[in-house]
């Protein structure tokens, strides 16, 4: 069901207000300077919105997935850069929700409940699309693991209080030799490297993490040794629709700005020809299809049904729609868009096709699901 | 029918390629970063005869045809599309004055434009829905044997750096469709250039609004006939759109080559990603779009060179690239993944630049009207 309940509508309204007050007025300036925005974390802390993915029994808001997507769409509407900070701050906790034990949950949700943010660190210079190519190692030594390696493109990396780090515990086992660890900020040997300067989502923080003989207690291992890749993939399943929600927000903003501009440019007498009518209709059609797909996928998750394929479909569709709708919007607004913050929407939309797995990787995920299992060979037919 | 450049055209293209390597490649990143007008490079373009490429020899031009012109624009754009934009706007002004100007106007401006001593700006757009309509439409009122210009031209490229503006104004508010072109010296009293706008890409080619606050010009400032401005503007903008298509192809080609090189070096899943079919498809489609766009625009350029009707073909090229121009960058960025989004790499700049050559002043439907009109 994708019609929002009264409660969800209230939450959406509150999210809109938060965005109007804290995000929209600051988005252009922070995009320009590409500076991080600690004020936003402070503001988000007040409303406890960071805790929306944390179950109520641990003190979080415990929103359903659909509700989370509604909130994240509003963040994306305001600014995909700041939205990325907030969304990743929430998503960083997903691995813990998936595989953390009670004690770990209590321990690591605590800093988030106090207003901190989390970061999820899978990507490495040699492990992008090929996520299994992780080279960071975690070697068991008594009651500890010693972690060594470099992570890159880590969202919130410079500001997180706690990190999920994927590392090889058994290099001989390939994908099955990867494990997931919680690593607290400030551990000796754990430093923040270069900050990435990006085409869009410029105010979100993207950095390199350098781990040199970082010691963590064995109790920081999430799940069992060798579960890391499975946890990472499930984390991405949860994260991708949230990226899609940001994308829907960006696309909605582009359409709204476009309509606002057209009314301003043709005050009181906007009589669009069919070419323009159809372009606007196509933007709306794509946008609405994307949003409904997103809500459906979130419904699957809330219902406890498998949604891995739908997650990939959603992220691909919404990312591509955001790119297409923002491009069309810039085209319809022409030089005005090119010389104003409208162009930011197009730059921001581009990342939606890239992060949390490129849309090419999503298509691999979808095609695997489509091809598996092989259809039964009908009687009388021979298998090819 | 020969689809290849002639030997002479090829040599001109090669010289632009060499120029780009020597003068543009070393500074393109800095130019993009600062957005400063590259004065010295424009002078070098003049020294290498590029600013007069399209003009006859008697005004200091190189007398090359439009095919060579677009080949040069493409080559320059492969390295730096902003410089190609400046040159293209310069050419719009020198072409208009050479084509419609009086001897005195030509003498005063064309050589100076060819030598890069003066920068030209073509001021057509306004804040209203279309030039001539709207509260601040540029209006020319007859007074004392001349005209007084009042109003604002919007999004003028080369504004601020220009020594001469070709500005389009209405002379009769009852006839908003009848524009008249004026050649206005930048030093004219009352001509005010607004702050440089912060453009997404093509940074280095300045864009600003230009306000004419009761600017007095003599009658001799009229370019061509009174009320013939729309014809002048249409012709110049259509020519420029073919050149802009060459910019798009240049940018697209640069992106394609960078992505292909990256794909050959980037190893994932134990092999270069260039060996993956999904990556090959992205690159192949981008190469296809570039190739077909280049053929289309060169065909239109040949018609222009042969003084044949070219308006429909120019519209077709523009329409094709309004749909596919940005797609080339959207796709090539995918090939480079996260690196394709990093400003430390060239693709983000090309992404921002190509939006400027494909999405603007093409209220993407206008070429379609022109094409449809030619069929029916």
CB B332 within 8 A of CB B282: yes
Going from N- to C-terminal start, the domains of chain A cover: 6-113, 118-225, 229-371
* CATH fold group of domain A6-113: Butyryl-Coa Dehydrogenase, subunit A; domain 1 (1.10.540)
Mark whether B101 and B191 lie in a shared domain.
no
Question: Which residues are bridge partners to A144 per DSSP?
Answer: A141, A217
Best residue in A338, A341, A358 for a mutation probing chain B (most B CBs within 10 Å): A338
Do B129 and A265 count as a contact with CB atoms less than 8 A apart?
yes
CB contacts of A151 in chain B (<8 Å) are none
Q: What is the mean pLDDT of chain A?
A: 94
Nearest CA to CA, how far is B53 from chain A (Å)? 28
Query: 3-class DSSP state for residue A376?
Result: coil
- Reported as half-sphere exposure (CB side, CA atoms, 13 A), residue A120 has a value of 27
Mark whether B359 and B235 lie in a shared domain.
yes
The three-state DSSP-derived secondary structure of B263-320 is HHHCEECCEEHHHCHHHHHHHHHHHHHHHHHHHHHHHHHHHHHCCCCCHHHHHHHHHH
The CATH number of whichever domain residue B191 belongs to comes to 2.40.110.10
Q: What is the dihedral of CA B98, B103, B106, B112, to 10 degrees?
A: 150
CB contacts of A153 in chain B (<8 Å) are 338
Q: pLDDT tens across A302-316, in order?
A: 999 999 999 999 999
Q: Does B72 have pLDDT greater than 90? A: yes
Query: pLDDT band at A57, cuts 50/70/90?
Result: very high
The CATH number of whichever domain residue B82 belongs to comes to 1.10.540.10
pLDDT at residue number A265? 82
Query: pLDDT band at B364, cuts 50/70/90?
Result: very low
Residue B215, in any domain of the structure: yes
Question: Which residues have a Cβ under 8 Å from the Cβ of A384 and sit 6 or more positions away?
Answer: none
What does the alpha-carbon distance between residue B214 and residue A266 come to, in Å, rounded to a whole number? 26
Q: What is the mean pLDDT of chain B?
A: 95
pLDDT at residue number B248? 97
Residue B2, in any domain of the structure: no
Nearest to B355 by CA among A332, A22, A355, A338: A338
pLDDT at residue number B107? 95
Task: Write the CA distances from A62 to A68, A271, A341, integer angstroms.
Answer: 9, 47, 35
Count of structural domains, chain B: 3
The residue segments making up the domain with residue B246 are: 230-375
CB A192 within 8 A of CB A157: yes
pLDDT at residue number A130? 92
Q: pLDDT tens across B33-60, in order?
A: 999 999 999 999 999 999 999 999 988 8
Alpha helices in A63-159 (DSSP H): 65-78, 80-91, 94-99, 102-113
Point out the catalytic residue in the list A124, A225, A310, A356.
A356
What does the alpha-carbon distance between residue B176 and residue B273 come to, in Å, rounded to a whole number? 57
Last residue of a domain, one of B102, B119, B136: B119
Mark whether B106 and B158 lie in a shared domain.
no
- The better pLDDT of the pair A384, B147 is held by B147
Q: Does A91 have pLDDT greater than 80? A: no
pLDDT at residue number A384? 47
Residues of A with CB under 8 A from a CB of B: 32, 123, 126, 128-130, 133, 152-153, 196-200, 265-266, 273, 275-276, 279, 323, 327, 330-332, 334-339, 343, 346-347, 350-351, 353-355, 358-360, 363-364
Over residues B177-184, mean pLDDT: 96
pLDDT at residue number A380? 62
* CATH fold group of domain A229-371: Butyryl-CoA Dehydrogenase, subunit A; domain 3 (1.20.140)
Do B364 and A332 count as a contact with CB atoms less than 8 A apart?
yes
- Angle, CA of A55, A57 and A63, to the nearest 5°: 30
Do B334 and A133 count as a contact with CB atoms less than 8 A apart?
no
Mark whether B33 and B95 lie in a shared domain.
yes
Query: pLDDT band at B66, cuts 50/70/90?
Result: very high
Q: A229-371: same fold as A118-225? A: no
Q: Does B373 have pLDDT greater than 80? A: no
The rounded percent of chain A whose pLDDT value lies above 90 is 86
Mark whether B115 and B125 lie in a shared domain.
no
Mark whether B16 and B31 lie in a shared domain.
yes
Query: And the tokens for A247?
Result: 């994308």
Q: Does B366 have pLDDT greater than 70? A: no
Do A334 and B363 count as a contact with CB atoms less than 8 A apart?
yes
Last residue of a domain, one of B227, B246, B266: B227
Q: Least CB-CB distance to A335: which of B201, B279, B360? A: B360
Last residue of a domain, one of B60, B90, B119: B119
Q: Least CB-CB distance to A198: which of B343, B358, B362? A: B343
Do A133 and B363 count as a contact with CB atoms less than 8 A apart?
no
The CATH number of whichever domain residue B341 belongs to comes to 1.20.140.10
Mark whether B334 and B207 lie in a shared domain.
no
Best residue in A331, A345, A356 for a mutation probing chain B (most B CBs within 10 Å): A331
Task: Write the CA distances from A333 to A276, A337, B65, integer angstroms.
Answer: 12, 5, 34
pLDDT at residue number A94? 93
Packing angle, helices B277-305 and B311-336, rounded to 10: 160
What does the alpha-carbon distance between residue B106 and residue B123 come to, in Å, rounded to a whole number? 18
Mark whether B246 and B361 lie in a shared domain.
yes
Q: Does A1 have pLDDT greater than 50? A: no
Residue B85, in any domain of the structure: yes
Residue B355, in any domain of the structure: yes
The rounded percent of chain B whose pLDDT value lies above 70 is 98
Do B340 and A354 count as a contact with CB atoms less than 8 A apart?
yes
Question: Which residues are bridge partners to B123 per DSSP?
Answer: B167
Nearest CA to CA, how far is B341 from chain A (Å)? 6
Residue B359, in any domain of the structure: yes
Mark whether B236 and B152 lie in a shared domain.
no
pLDDT at residue number A363? 96
What does the alpha-carbon distance between residue A21 and residue A273 come to, in Å, rounded to a whole number? 36
Do A335 and B155 count as a contact with CB atoms less than 8 A apart?
yes
- In CATH, the architecture of A118-225 is Beta Barrel (2.40)
Active site residue A64: no
Q: Does A377 have pLDDT greater than 70? A: no
Mark whether B199 and B274 lie in a shared domain.
no
Alpha helices in chain B (DSSP H): 7-19, 28-34, 39-47, 66-79, 81-100, 103-114, 229-265, 277-305, 311-336, 347-358, 366-375
Mark whether B126 and B54 lie in a shared domain.
no
Mark whether B303 and B366 lie in a shared domain.
yes
Best residue in A133, A195, A199 for a mutation probing chain B (most B CBs within 10 Å): A199
Q: pLDDT tens across A338-359, in order?
A: 999 999 999 999 999 999 999 9
Query: pLDDT band at B8, cuts 50/70/90?
Result: very high
How large is the ipTM? 0.94
pLDDT at residue number B359? 87
């Amino acid at each position: 069901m994708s019609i929002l309940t009264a409660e969800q509508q209230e939450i959406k309204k509150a999210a809109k207000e938060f965005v109007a007050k804290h995000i929209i007025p600051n988005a252009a300036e922070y995009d320009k300077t590409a500076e991080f925005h600690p004020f936003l974390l402070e503001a988000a802390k007040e409303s406890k919105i960071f805790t929306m993915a944390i179950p109520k029994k641990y003190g979080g808001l415990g929103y359903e997935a659909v509700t989370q997507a509604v909130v994240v769409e509003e963040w994306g509407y305001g600014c995909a850069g700041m939205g990325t900070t907030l969304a990743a701050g929430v998503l960083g906790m997903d691995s813990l929700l998936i595989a953390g034990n009670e004690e770990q949950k209590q321990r690591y949700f605590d800093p988030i409940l106090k207003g901190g943010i989390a970061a999820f660190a899978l990507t490495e210079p040699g492990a992008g699309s090929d996520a299994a190519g992780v080279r960071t190692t975690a070697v068991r030594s008594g009651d500890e693991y010693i972690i060594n390696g470099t992570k890159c493109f880590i969202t919130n990396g410079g500001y997180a209080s706690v990190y999920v780090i994927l590392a090889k515990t058994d290099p001989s086992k390939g994908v099955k030799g990867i494990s997931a660890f919680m690593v607290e900020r400030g551990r000796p040997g754990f430093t923040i490297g270069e900050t990435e300067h990006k085409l869009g989502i410029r105010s979100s923080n993207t950095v390199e993490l350098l781990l040199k003989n970082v010691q963590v207690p064995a109790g920081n291992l999430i799940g069992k040794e060798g579960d890391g890749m499975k946890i990472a993939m499930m984390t991405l399943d949860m994260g991708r629709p949230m990226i899609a929600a940001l994308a829907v927000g960006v696309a909605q903003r582009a359409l709204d700005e476009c309509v606002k501009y057209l009314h301003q440019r043709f005050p009181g007498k906007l009589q669009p020809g069919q070419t323009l009518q159809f372009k606007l209709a196509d933007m709306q059609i794509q946008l609405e299809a994307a949003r409904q797909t997103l809500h459906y996928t979130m419904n699957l998750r809330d219902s406890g049904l498998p949604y891995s394929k739908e997650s990939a479909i959603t992220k691909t569709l919404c990312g591509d729609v955001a790119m297409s709708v923002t491009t069309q919007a810039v085209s319809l607004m022409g030089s005005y868009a090119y010389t104003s913050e409208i162009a930011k929407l197009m730059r921001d939309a581009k990342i939606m096709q890239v992060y949390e797995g490129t849309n090419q990787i999503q298509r691999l995920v979808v095609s695997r699901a489509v091809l598996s299992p092989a259809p039964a060979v009908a009687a009388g037919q021979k298998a090819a | 029918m020969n689809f290849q450049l002639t030997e002479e055209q090829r040599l001109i293209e090669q010289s632009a390629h060499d120029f780009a390597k020597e003068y543009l490649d070393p500074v393109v990143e800095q130019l993009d970063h600062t957005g400063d007008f590259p004065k010295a490079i424009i002078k070098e373009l003049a020294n290498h005869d590029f600013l007069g490429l399209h003009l006859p020899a008697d005004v200091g031009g190189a007398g090359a045809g439009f095919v060579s012109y677009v080949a040069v624009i493409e080559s320059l754009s492969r390295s730096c599309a902003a410089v190609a934009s400046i040159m293209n706007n310069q050419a719009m002004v020198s072409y208009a004055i050479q084509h419609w100007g009086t001897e005195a106007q030509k003498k005063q401006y064309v050589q100076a434009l060819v030598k890069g001593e003066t920068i030209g700006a073509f001021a057509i757009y306004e804040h209203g829905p279309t030039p001539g309509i709207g509260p601040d439409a540029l209006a020319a009122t007859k007074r004392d044997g001349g005209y007084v210009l009042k109003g604002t031209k919007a999004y003028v490229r080369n504004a601020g750096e220009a020594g001469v503006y070709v500005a389009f104004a209405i002379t009769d508010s009852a006839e908003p469709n009848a524009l008249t072109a004026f050649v206005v010296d930048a030093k004219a009293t009352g001509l005010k250039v607004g702050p440089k706008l912060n453009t997404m890409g093509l940074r280095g080619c300045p864009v600003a609004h230009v306000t004419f606050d009761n600017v007095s010009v003599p009658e001799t400032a009229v370019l061509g006939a009174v009320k013939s401005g729309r014809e002048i503007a249409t012709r110049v903008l259509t020519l420029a759109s073919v050149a802009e298509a060459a910019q798009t192809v240049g940018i697209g080609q640069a992106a394609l080559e960078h992505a292909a090189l990256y794909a050959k070096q980037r190893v994932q899943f134990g092999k270069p990603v260039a060996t993956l079919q999904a990556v090959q498809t992205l690159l192949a489609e981008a190469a296809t779009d570039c190739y077909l766009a280049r053929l289309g625009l060169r065909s239109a350029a040949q018609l222009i060179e042969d003084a044949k009707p070219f308006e429909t073909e120019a519209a077709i090229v523009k329409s094709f690239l309004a749909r596919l121009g940005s797609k080339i960058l959207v796709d090539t960025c995918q090939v480079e993944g996260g690196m394709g989004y990093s400003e430390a790499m060239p693709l983000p700049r090309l992404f921002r630049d190509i939006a400027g050559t494909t999405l603007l002043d093409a209220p993407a439907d206008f070429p379609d009207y022109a094409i449809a009109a030619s069929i029916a």
